[in-house]
Amino acid sequence: MKGFRPRPGFVVQAYRFALDPNAGQEAALRSHCGAARAAYNWAVAWVTASWWQRRAEVSYGVPDAELTGWRPWSLPALRKEFNVVKRTDPRFADWWEDNSKEAYSTGLANASAAFDNYAKSKNGKRKGARMGAPRFKSKRKARLSCRFTTGTIRVDADGRHVTLPRLGTIRTHEPTHKLLARVRGGTARILSATVRHERGRWFVSFQTEVKRDIQRVARPGTVVGIDLGVKTLAVMADSTGEIRTVANPRHYDKALTQLRRASRAVSRRRGPDRRTGQKPSKRWEKANAQLTKIHHRVANLRADALHKLTTTVTRTYGTVVVEDLHVAGMLRNHRLARRIADAGFGEIRRRLSYKSRRNGCRVLAADRWYPSSKTCSGCGAVKAKLPLHLRTYTCDACGLVIDRDANAALNLAALAATAVTGTGVAGDQDTAQPVSKPRGADRKTRTTRTRRKAGPGRAGGATLPHQQQTETRDRTQAQAPTLW
C-alpha cells in the first residue's frame, strides 16, 4: 500500500504461493486481469484527451484563460469519473459487473501512479531515467496482474487453499502453513493480495504486516568485503583474514543445451503471426510451454542460490561492504553479457539491502571508482592498469602475490573503518556524492601509494587505508561507501 507504515516492531513482508486453478477459475483470473488493463487504458485516454484538446485550441489561437481545463489523474478523481461512465460506456456496460471492483481499481491506481511518475520526472523531482507519458497497454503484451485490497482475503485453515473476492477458493500448489501459523498466532495481518501470471503459472502474493524481532548476527564485530565476479560468483574476505570463495553455479549455461533444443522445436512449429492473423498450432503451444518451463526452472534455481548466499552473509557478519557495480554498462560487453546477467549482481545487492534490516547488519557500498582490484591489500600501492586476464595480483612495491579477487575483497573489507574514522575514503549515508556520467563514463587510475595504519598483518585485512597522496586526493573524496 502506498504510504503505509507498519506498526512499531512490525515489517511489511510478502508471502508468495503458486496456484492450481481449474479451467473456470483460470478464466475468471484472466477476466479480472483484463478488466484491470481496460480500466488503465480508459484512464490514460480520459486524462490525455484534455491534453490533446488544449493543444488543438492553442493552435487555433484560443486565449489561455479560455482553454479546456486539465483533467485530474488522482485516484479518487479517476474512480469518481469511472463510476459515472461504466454503466453507459459501450466498452464496459455489458461486462463490468462480471468482475470485482478491485480489478478496475487496480488499473486506475496504476494509471494514477504512472501519471504521477511522469509529472515528477518531467519536473526533475524523480530520480532515475526520464519517464515518458503513460501509453496504452497491449492485450497481447501486457502482464496479467490484479490486486485485491478489500473483501474476503484469507488463507484457508487446511493450508492448501486461499480465498479471494469474486474468485472464491483456489487451491495452492504448495502448502501455506508458514503464513497460516503467523495469522493464527496474531503475529501477521494480511493487507492485500496480488494475483499474477508469470512463466506459464499463476501466483498469489500476500502483502502482510509481520511482527519480526531483530535476530542478531553471529559475528557482530566482523567486517566482510564481497567481490563479485563471473568466474567466481563471490569472494568474501573478513577482517580476521579469512577468505571464502562461492562458486558460480551458472544455471543458464548448464541449461543452454536444453534451451537450444527446445527453441528449435518451437521454431519448427506453426506459431502466431500478427500480420496475417494466423493462430498458433497445438504443437507450437506445447513446444512453447516446454521452453517456458525450462526458463522457469533456471530462474528458480538462480533465485534460490542468491537467497541462500545473501541470507548466510546477513546472518553472519555485522558489516558488509560491496561494490557499486555499473551493471547496465557491464552488459554492453557482448562477450560477457550472458554470464553477467546469469550471475545477478544487481539482485545480490538488492537482497542484501533489505535482509540486512532483519538482523541489524550494516551494509556499505564502495564508490564506483574505488580501485579495489588495483590496490595492494598489503602496502596500499595502486596499479595504473590491471588487465582482466591477469587473475593474480603482484605488487611491484612490496612483492605481495595474491589472488586478484581476494585482494579486492580485502580492500573492500578495509573500507568499513573509514565510515567511522572519516578519513575521506569512506563516508556515512549523508556524505555528498559527486555526480558522475550515467553511461560510458571513464575514470583512469593513476599510480600512487596509500599509507596504512598500524595493524596485525598484511593479509589479515585489519590494515586500513588512511590517507592518500595529494595527486589523488580529488579522486579519493568520491570513494565513500554508501550506507543502505
Per the residue annotation, which of 102, 323, 342, 367 is the catalytic one? 323
Name the DSSP class of 224: E
- C-alpha to C-alpha distance for 412 and 399, rounded to whole angstroms: 20
Q: Smallest Cα–Cα separation from 35: which of 83, 116, 92?
A: 92
Q: Smallest Cα–Cα separation from 228: which of 397, 345, 355, 376?
A: 345
Q: Collapse the DSSP code of 1 into the 3-class scheme (helix H, G, I; strand E, B; otherwise coil) and give the result.
A: coil
| Residues sharing a CB contact under 8 Å with residue 101, sequence separation 6 or more, in sequence order | none
Is 405 a known active-site residue?
A: yes
Place of cell 512453447: 288
Tell me the three-class secondary structure of 82-103, residue by residue: HHHHCCCCCCCCCCHHHCCHHH
- C-alpha to C-alpha distance for 27 and 269, rounded to whole angstroms: 26
Give Cα separations from 31 to 152, 225, 438 (angstroms): 19, 49, 41
Is 20 a known active-site residue?
A: no
Residue 451 contacts residue 380 (beta carbons within 8 Å): yes
Is 227 a known active-site residue?
A: yes
C-alpha cell at 150: 478489500
Helices (H), 360-450: 404-415, 418-421
Residue 406 contacts residue 392 (beta carbons within 8 Å): no
Per the residue annotation, which of 102, 209, 342, 405 is the catalytic one? 405
Per the residue annotation, which of 227, 238, 342, 367 is the catalytic one? 227
Secondary structure E strands in 240-347: 243-247, 317-323
Count of residues in the chain: 484
List the catalytic residues. Answer: 227, 323, 405
